[in-house]
Amino acid sequence: MATSDVDPASGPSKSGFRQSVDNCCTFLYNSETGEVCGRTGKSWALITIFYVIFYTLLAGFFIATIAVFYTTIDKHYPKLQDSSSLLKGSPGLGYRPRPNYESTLIRFNKGDASLNPYVKNIRSFLAHYNTTKYDSRYENCDSIVGERETNKHRPCLFDPLALDAPCLREADYGYKNGTPCVILKLNKIYNWVPKPYSNETVPAEAKENWGASHITVKCQGERESDIENLGQVNYYPPHGFPIKYFPFLNQPGYHAPIVVVQFMNPTRGFLVMVTCKAYAHNIAINKMNSLGLVHFELLVD
């Protein structure tokens, strides 16, 4: 029987590898046809022109849709207002300090002079209330008691230090002495004007804090044990948010009013669960959906 001169173990594999390399080189450039990667120069030119035109039209269509979209938006007021907005015409209530948005616990050591994160957070928040930069933009509303009737395009000057909250004049906002400050603030809603309760209609739980022309604010412990261990609570202003600082109309330099709540003698070592609520006819309060209220825990070590 005749035998092959090719080594069956090495011949075919070397030949196959060489053929693969030749095929690859021919694909990259075919000297006989002048093709590069399987296409002639004319073919590459045509396909390049096609994709340039295609992506140019695609980009033009995208830019046109964005341009049309921006024609429906006004930079001075939101398109969706009142019940059509995300807040449904009822502002939410927020608080500071909250350095960690994943936690609602305010825990600190009484007598600790170090700059804890709560003090830093309050300081950073109040830094936005620098009224020396834009004084010419503000309206002096000291003489206004109720709702503003004129010059609403100019915001009222709001100075937190004018609230006369003792803790705001302390470097540590009362945390070193175990009498911490908590700042409450309503969400800004364009052209929203609060409708305060009267002395006859205000809910019973907030009656002692009620004041004319104010959004009443009340903070209290959630359980009986929380009420007993929360201690005295002072408010600045004492009746809540004055309505003269509303509405928000996207005025340059507008600063939302705040209410400073100071807890004078919370029991040390006891975790107190606190709920603060804002009361007005057009503020919805719903605990399940966290509307019109805030919850946090207070623990003084």
**How is residue 256 written in tokens?**
């939302």
**In 71-160, alpha helices (H):** 117-126
The CATH class, in words, for 82-300 is mainly beta
pLDDT, one tens digit per residue, over 263-272 is: 999 999 999 9
DSSP per-residue letters across 158-181: --GGGG--GGGGSTTTTTTTT--E
Q: Of 290, 212, 282, give the one whose Cα is nearest residue 247.
A: 282
Parts of the chain with a pLDDT under 50 = 1-4, 6, 10-11
pLDDT, one tens digit per residue, over 71-89 is: 877 777 676 666 666 666 7
**How is residue 38 written in tokens?**
């399987």
pLDDT reported for residue 75: 72
- Rounded Cα gap, residues 220 and 275, in angstroms: 6
Q: Is the dihedral of CA 215, 225, 300, 271 positive or negative?
A: negative
